[in-house]
């Protein structure tokens, strides 16, 4: 049974407002899940609701990741460091990155150095 445009919009509205589940709609209207996706899209278009594309969602996620990285980096602290201190920080960061790839991290320095496994697996 083919649905009219108005029927698709009505079904889409019910799905959007969660007054009807997808399973109920499939049984009640005898349509596929893909058709319900089309109904939802038709409703959003008719109501003027912006539909986020996969590309837009990916860009938003990237921007969020970049903001999180910028917040974790204290640029002012790095700007105040000397060249030697920056080199030491870079070496330490690289060492920590390599250790994480191998599955462990190091706490403490010198004789108090402690190796901590990042997984529950046996290291033998």
**Residues 40-76 pLDDT 10s:** 999 999 999 888 788 888 888 888 877 777 666 667 7
Q: b or e along 54-92 (b: 16 or more beta carbons within 10 Å of the residue's beta carbon)?
A: eeeeeeeeeeeeeeeeeeeeeeeeeeeeeeeeeeeeeee
Better pLDDT: 113 or 92: 92
Q: Report which DSSP code applies to 82.
A: -
Distance CA 72, CA 52 (A): 28
For residues 115 and 124, is the Cβ–Cβ distance under 8 A?
A: no
Q: So what's the pLDDT on residue 71? A: 66
Average pLDDT over residues 98-120: 77
Nearest Cα residue to 9 out of 35, 46, 62: 46
Better pLDDT: 7 or 123: 7
Distance CA 25, CA 28 (A): 5
Say how many residues make up the chain: 124
- Mean pLDDT (the chain) is 84
Spans of all domains in the chain: 5-47, 54-108
Average pLDDT over residues 8-27: 93
In a 3-state reduction of DSSP, which class is residue 81?
Answer: coil
- Contacts of residue 35, defined as CB under 8 A and 6 or more positions apart, other chains included, come to 3
- Residue 89: band (very low, low, confident or very high) from pLDDT cuts 50, 70, 90: confident
């Amino acid at each position: 049974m083919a649905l009219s445009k108005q029927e698709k919009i009505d079904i889409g509205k019910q799905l959007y407002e969660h007054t009807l589940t997808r399973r109920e709609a499939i049984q009640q209207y005898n349509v596929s899940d893909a058709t319900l996706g089309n109904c939802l899209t038709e409703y959003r278009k008719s109501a003027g609701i912006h539909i986020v594309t996969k590309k837009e969602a990916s860009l938003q996620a990237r921007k969020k990741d970049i903001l999180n990285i910028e917040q974790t980096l204290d640029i002012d602290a790095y700007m105040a460091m000397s060249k030697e201190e920056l080199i030491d920080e870079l070496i330490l960061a690289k060492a920590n990155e390599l250790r994480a790839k191998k599955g462990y991290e190091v706490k403490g320095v010198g004789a108090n150095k402690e190796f901590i496994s990042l997984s529950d697996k046996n290291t033998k």
